[in-house]
Amino acid sequence: MSVRVALIVGSLREGSYSRAIGLEMKALAAPGLEVELVEIGDLPLYNPDLDTDAPPAAWARFRAEMAGVQAVLFVTPEYNRSIPGALKNALDVGSRPYGHSIWSGKPAAIVSVSPGALAAFGANHHLRQPLVFLNMPTMTQPEAYLGGVADLLDEHGKLKNEGTRDFLKGFTDAFAGWIEKTRG
């Protein structure tokens, strides 16, 4: 049985390293995982006043797309030692209205990406905090911190480092096992 996995990228930048890594991971996904990129860049900032019977169209689209997936792969950069605002906003939009969270019970995995040496360690760990509250069992091992990412990708955003490709393949395989384990 195949499992639909949402790929959520924390960076909105055209040419984003996080997006490139996420798309490479989609191509490396374990058999049975159908990884689908779910866009978050068009989501208006969460405001409870807008959460009516007719919420913003982008919110409705996002919530509907997420309702159809069984797991979530987050690939994110780090902004100011934390997660990007767009990613936090997506978590908020998906968790509301209260009692109707699209996140609850969905297994998750996190890959953090940075051109720097710290490999977005802060973002990786900050993202785990809201995922606990959102009831998303998050894979703890293997961890994935990709530093020096600019040197891992070619000019077309494709992996050029076989060691990284092997690591990410192993990560997606582990995530498939995590999904199976947590979905019971």
| Cβ-based neighbour number of residue 180 at 10 Å | 14
The per-residue pLDDT for 84 is 96
Work out the end-to-end distance of the chain between its first and last CA atoms, rounded to an integer number of angstroms.
13
- 155 φ, ψ to 5°? -65, -10
pLDDT tens for residues 42-101?
Answer: 999 999 999 999 999 999 999 999 999 999 999 999 988 999 999 999 999 999 999 999
The residue segments making up the domain with residue 139 are 3-183
Q: Indicate if the pLDDT at residue 184 is higher than 80.
A: no
Q: Give residue 116's pLDDT band: very low, low, confident or very high (50, 70, 90).
A: confident
| CATH at residue 51 | 3.40.50.360
Q: Give residue 1's pLDDT band: very low, low, confident or very high (50, 70, 90).
A: low
Give the whole-angstrom CA distance, residue 137 versus residue 128: 10
Instruction: Report the number of distinct structural domains present in the chain.
Output: 1
